[in-house]
């Protein structure tokens, strides 16, 4: 059974920023392809929440790679998944 997915305010803001950045640099086609990959990854997370690696900075937070440039940080609870934020992997790691 797939778990329910909830998006934090920060997740909604960061996916918008990532999408707009991709759209500006590479165009609508690539940006829309990114959204499709994101949706596929989130579906996998809802079906198998522990398939992606645990983060090293907080308990119960996991990291899913969407593309080599972008990851999703999410928290697993007993009955749901909380998407915390989207991360540009090219950013400085200390600014998390």
| Residue 55, domain member (yes or no) | yes
- Predicted TM-score (pTM) of this structure: 0.89
pLDDT band (50, 70, 90) for residue 93: low
Query: Reading across the β-sheet that carries 61-67, which strands appear in turn?
Result: 4-7, 80-88, 70-76, 61-67, 53-54
pLDDT tens sequence across 4-14: 999 999 999 99
Domain enclosing residue 10, as ranges: 4-90
- The model's confidence at residue 94, banded by pLDDT at 50, 70 and 90, is very low
Dump pLDDT digits (tens) for 48-84: 999 999 998 888 899 999 999 999 999 999 999 999 9
Q: How many whole angstroms separate alpha carbon 59 and alpha carbon 28?
A: 36
In a domain, 32, yes or no: yes
Residue 28 lies in a domain: yes
Q: Considering its fold, how many domains does the chain have in total?
A: 1
Structure tokens at 25: 């640099």
Instruction: Tell whether 95 is covered by a domain.
Output: no
CATH of the domain at 75: 3.30.2310.20
């Amino acid at each position: 059974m797939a778990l329910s997915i909830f998006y934090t305010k920060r997740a909604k803001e960061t996916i918008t920023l990532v999408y707009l950045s991709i759209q500006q640099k590479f165009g609508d086609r690539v940006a829309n392809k990114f959204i499709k990959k994101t949706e596929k990854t989130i579906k996998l997370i809802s079906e198998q929440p522990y398939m992606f690696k645990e983060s090293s900075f907080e308990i119960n937070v996991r990291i899913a790679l969407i593309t080599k440039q972008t990851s999703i940080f999410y928290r697993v609870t007993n009955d749901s998944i909380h998407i915390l934020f989207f991360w540009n992997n090219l950013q400085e790691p200390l600014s998390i």
